[in-house]
Structure 1
Amino acid sequence: MEKVNNKKFYPTAVALYFTYFIHGIGASILGQYKQDFAAMWGAKLLEDGTYDVSMVVSVIAALGLGRLISLPFSGPISDKCGRKVSGIIGIICYVLYLGGIVLAPNMMVGYAFAIVGGIANSFLDTCVSPSCMEIFPENGSIANMFTKFSISVAQFILPFGIGFVASSAMSFKTIFIVAAVAIAIDGLLILFLPFPQIGATQDKGAKKEVKKEKMKFTPASIALICIGFTSSSTFMIWLNCNQELGKLYGLADPSKIQSLYALGTVCAILVSSVLIKKGIKEIKILVIYPAISAIMLILIYFIRIPSICLIGGFVIGYSAAGGVLQLCVSTANAMFPKDKGKITSIVMIASSVANYTIISFASYLIKVGGAVNGPTNVVLLNIAVTVVGVLLAIFVNIQNSKMEKERGIA
């Protein structure tokens, strides 16, 4: 009976995954059109004939600020008012963001619309992931991984869309408008599609249990929360600042970096799922993947040739954006089995703080360094943050080994 009932929710799952497909475009498209937005918002023209894109990077950082502002509210709204309500709010905000950002007359208006885009992300997060896990209860982790898969597919296709728009002599605003219309139509479908019911009685009981026991933070759990910051920083810096680096290194078509980045992410999701099924612990991957990212970033800094950007795009997509944040959340959930919701929110807040602060700092480095030193200064920033993430992961592994030994003795 349950399987038959669940089948009626499959179209809902497809519609929800499509919102993440559009989110994949929305989260990275500003980074692909920085020069266009800089020109539209009256940025300073640099000596090499390009525009100072620091103001656009600041606007990209506002996506993290919007997410940070709304995270404390989006979860409770999803739990109390329903997943559909949360999803519709997210979709409305996404339409406003995608449509509004291309009409923004200046950077400040663009900044405001980017905050709305961050709010959209937060509400989609609290709708799509729990809904898909409720639709596929026996394969919840796989269902959740497909949200990342949807994002990666969109980011892989996006450069081809950008190329088509350019070759057809269409405005750079085209993809934004098409994406806004597409998610609006999807929102109308979601409005009428059925959603699984949330077990209200169980949730209330679970909340009472959580209130009885206070969360006790250990040095290892604090380090994990910090990994939420560092892991997000690594891929967010690369995702939004790789185009200028590609141009600096003489890459003819920097948009190809984005496709290889997305391809690396897809490969990582598939490979990681196999590794975990074979018994490799998530906590070990938290060291291995960021270490690969750090080594790749160091090579990118010293080997300044066009092809290194393409190789780096794939490797960083694989090792930084291929589920490290999700594995961090899973490890944190194992540490706090009775407080999964709270610890997930805390890690995601750390991720949002990274999205805002680290991208804002990258914007400052680009402004100070200009077209020549700005991109490489950003790479140095990324190396520093990623190395800190590796050290934190090593510390978590050491603490976890000690805890396992103590349990074995006990």
Structure 2
Amino acid sequence: MRNHYTNTATALYINYFLLGMVNIILASNMSHLTEQWDTDQAGISFIISAIGIGKLLTYALSGVLSDKLGRKPLVIFSALAMGIFLVGTPLSPSYQLAFVFALIAGMGNSAMDASSYPGLSEIFPKSAGSANVLVKAFMSAGAALLPLMILFFSNHNLYFGYAFFVPAAIFLLNFIFLFAVSFPDHRNNKKSKGDNDSVTEKFKSEPSFKKEGLALIVIGFTSTGLFTVSPIWMPSFGQEVVGMTLDRSITLLSYYSIGGLISVIVLSVLLKKFLSPVTVMLIYPIITFISILIILTIKIPIVTSITAFFIGLSTAGIFQLAITVMTELFWKKKGTVTGILATASGLASIVMPLITGLMAKSGNISIIFIFDGLLAVIGFIAACFVYYRYNKITNNKKDEEQPLLRLAD
């Protein structure tokens, strides 16, 4: 039977496809923006951190408004905010005004997350996990397309701002389209009383927030840090360390994003049949660390492109998996623990660009990727602890009905 909210879901996925572009658009145009605002690479990284600040400051409010006003008003606002950011940024005559537009983008991002994730869960109640997985797929697809768009405009000697205006135009069209679609009534969501009993049977002993909970928060921070740092500095690394041209260095982001897209597709299959989320959280940081080690030691363009793909593959979806495990272990307070993880993620999206921006002032971009490798090691250690604790406190019985990436309402 056809879902009556298919058009609504399509509009939400379009937003996330465009958000994938927004996430890397400043880093992808770093050379143009530094010249326009008379700043340096560190200055652009601070602008990127402003998006994280806007998101962190409004995340809690967005969640409350999403529950009180419904999903639709916030989704509409998010599309408008992102459009304003994309139009305003390349036209900003000053660094200070660009910072304001970045804050607006962060507000739009938090509104989008707070309304779209629960909205998709309500549109597809029987396959909420799979519906949310597609969010990452659309974001990765958008991030993979943007560098190709930038390359096209560059090869035809066109204004770099067109790369901002194209997604802005699509956001505007989607903004108008969203007024015409309907959302499920979010107030009708009720839990089955039998859910609590089935969940408690999974545990041998009560999960401890001071143990595995804190370890998962660390993973939420490091996973976002890895996902944030690499796309910001990869083009600069390609240019300054590997000796790639500007155009070729930007294509590294496409390889990175394609890796993330493939990761999401593969996880959607393997997690249902072969792997558990805690196992993936253990394996992926190892792949990330090895890839960073290779990118630092073998400075050849083709090798850099391949390792960019594997870095993208091994950093995609870890944050969502952390939410999956956190809400499984602390199921009585899903909203609270999800908010805590989101806060850790928001802090990482602010702190990491600031720290790496200061590192860039030394003139050695390689230091940033050494720092990235350290984040991978910390994430791996935390994942080892979570893996140990998870197997100790659960019955280790394969749960056929567990959704792939369960995000709290």
Q: TM-score surpassing 0.5?
A: yes
Aligned pairs (5 A) from 1:36-51: 36-43=32-39
Structure 2 CA distance for partners of 1:187 and 1:250, relative to 1, 3 Å:
same
Aligned pairs (5 A) from 1:350-361: 350-361=344-355
Q: Secondary structure at the match of 1:250?
A: coil
Aligned residue for 1:8? 4
Aligned residue for 1:318? 313
Aligned residue for 2:323? 329
Aligned pairs (5 A) from 1:106-121: 106-121=94-109
Q: Secondary structure at the match of 2:127?
A: helix
- Are 1:123 and 2:111 an aligned pair? yes
Shift of 1:251: 2.1
Aligned residue for 2:128? 140
Residue identity matched to 1:310 = S
Aligned pairs (5 A) from 1:324-403: 324-367=318-361, 369-370=362-363, 373=364, 375-403=365-393
Residue identity matched to 1:136 = F
Residue identity matched to 1:365 = M
**Alpha-carbon distance in 2 for matches of 1:136, 1:81:** 20
Aligned residue for 1:183? 171
Q: Provide Cα deviations, 1:304-355, integer angstroms capped at 9, x if missing partner.
A: 222222012100110012x111111101011111211111111111111001
**Alpha-carbon distance in 1 for matches of 2:269, 2:66:** 32
Aligned residue for 1:159? 147
- Are 1:33 and 2:29 an aligned pair? yes
Aligned residue for 2:255? 260
Q: Secondary structure at the match of 1:138?
A: coil
Shift of 1:402: 2.5
Residue identity matched to 1:327 = L
Shift of 1:404: 3.5
Residue identity matched to 2:276 = K
Given the two structures, how large is their TM-score scaled by the length of structure 2? 0.89
**Alpha-carbon distance in 1 for matches of 2:189, 2:129:** 24
Shift of 1:140: 0.9
Gaps of 5+ in 1: 44-51, 206-214
Shift of 1:218: 2.5
Contact 1:251-1:307 at 8 Å conserved across structures: no
Structure 2 CA distance for partners of 1:58 and 1:303, relative to 1, 3 Å:
same
Contact 2:137-2:265 at 8 Å conserved across structures: no
Shift of 1:356: 0.3
Aligned residue for 1:212? none
**Alpha-carbon distance in 2 for matches of 1:403, 1:293:** 28
**Alpha-carbon distance in 2 for matches of 1:406, 1:312:** 34
**Alpha-carbon distance in 2 for matches of 1:128, 1:38:** 33
Moved over 4 A (4+): none
Aligned residue for 1:17? 13
Residue identity matched to 2:351 = T
Gaps of 5+ in 2: 194-206, 398-409
Shift of 1:168: 2.2
Aligned residue for 1:48? none
Q: Provide Cα deviations, 1:238-285, integer angstroms capped at 9, x if missing partner.
A: 011100100120223112211111111111111112111114210111
Aligned residue for 1:236? 228
**Alpha-carbon distance in 2 for matches of 1:115, 1:360:** 15
**Alpha-carbon distance in 2 for matches of 1:340, 1:404:** 18
**Alpha-carbon distance in 1 for matches of 2:17, 2:395:** 44
Q: Secondary structure at the match of 1:137?
A: coil
